[in-house]
Amino acid sequence: MAAELELAERAVGFAIAAGADEAEATGLISYRFSTEARGIEVTKLEQSVGRSLALRVFRNGAKATLSTSDLSEDALRRFAREAVDAARFVGADQFAGLPETNGAPGDAALELFAPDVRERPAEEKIADALALERVVRQTDARIVNSSGSQVVDSTTLVTLANSKGFAGSYWSSQAHAMTQPIAQDGPNKRIAHYGTAARSYAALEPIESVAEKAAKRAVEMIGARKPQTTRCPVIFERDVASLVLSDIFTAINAANVAVGNSFLADKVGAKVGSELATIVDDGRLPRALGTSPFDAEGVPTRRTVVFERGVLQTFLYDTYYARRVGAKTTANAAGGGIGPNNFYLLPGNPDLEQLIASTPRGVLVLDTIGFATESVTGTYSRGARGFVIEGGELAYPIDEFTIAGNLIEMLAGIDEVGSDLIFDQSIVSPSFRIAEMTISGT
């Protein structure tokens, strides 16, 4: 790790020597494994090691970013000169430049790395993918095929150094297992998916549980029909709820706010959500998949309350957009833009079953199709699959319907939040219920 950090520091030095006013180097070493099975056959097997370095330079207010995988001494010198030369062809921007950083905290308490990801034999990972296929097909005779079962993992070393004296590095790991069964429903096919993700293999859901939940999702949709058009309460199951939160994140991304492409652009300090809508971005949660000690600019991560009991507190910034609007970075720089750390809705007390039981009449949404959110107005519309709820119980499956509303009205309409929050991606949510939405069917 020390050698890789020294490499990044040398690249920064070469850039300054070549004429850059400021420079930043980010090194990545990533070990990846991926396998897929269908039936009793392994249909994909990939294993790779990737090594690269990105250099971001600033000269006379202009910025250029280049990347290379040739990390020899002479190549780095040439690379640094090319990056500085490239900046000469870019227009100056008064807001461009490195952040003011004073070093980053250590990552030991964040528990980002688990040795079992690298140490686990490839044969065992392949066996897991085959086991997902076997169990999902054995669970129910109506499961006739699948779109594949995958086991994927990675371990990554990130190093970052800049000309203002910042130098930091950390290892992280991730493991994923997912299956996509297909159930026969007369002439139709019912496709479902379910997966698990964590920092370690030890923290994943058991393979049998993943397969059984995926199979249940497929067969429970057999006999689904189109519902009648109505307005009623809608429960978003946690996987679908996280997609709603992705739309919210887009609206509080300062890059969108700065150009007016956000329905929340002028609403900081305003109450736009219900009392149950407290939404947080937190880069310091141990073992969570969006956690890191510092962001892509070397700014130490933190916990930022975005909505507090429905009141919009702040947008999320990197250094550039913070300077542009006179704010401070929230440590959300990511890959040349603004991204989430762990962006989530605070959970409530009831589990999903209790949410359903407390809904006399409504719809449970288990899956959505398509992307139809209008960023400026917040207009929301999705094709969906799920269940009609009658008398606090799941009555029958439904599909080929549309749920529609406005994201501000949806935030304001949250009247119950579940407890089933799992940090298995960077944007997550517990299940929640919205008091009323439009269901368009027959």
What are the residue boundaries of the structural domains of the chain, listed by start?
2-219, 224-442
10 Å Cβ neighbour count for 46? 10
Q: Look at the block and give the residue holding tokens 């044969």.
A: 123
Is the pTM above the cut of 0.75?
Answer: yes
Which positions of the chain have pLDDT values less than 70? 1, 102-108
- As given in the structure block, the two tokens for residue 156 are 């990554």
Nearby residues of 231 by Cβ (< 8 Å), 6 or more positions away: 436, 437, 438, 439
Tell me the C-alpha distance between 382 and 437, whole Å.
Answer: 12
Give the model's pLDDT for residue 2: 83
Q: What is the pLDDT of residue 107?
A: 66
Residue 299 CB burial class (10 angstroms; 0-12, 13-18, ≥19): buried
Render pLDDT for 325-359 as a digit per residue (tens, 0 to 9): 999 999 999 988 999 999 999 999 999 999 999 99
Please report, rounded to a whole number, the percentage of residues in the chain having pLDDT higher than 90: 94
CATH number for 2-219 (one of 3.30.2290.10, 2.160.20.10, 3.20.20.70, 1.20.1250.20): it is: 3.30.2290.10
DSSP string covering 113-182: --THHHHS-HHHHHHHHHHHHHHHHHH-TTEEEEEEEEEEEEEEEEEEEETTS-EEEEEEEEEEEEEEEE
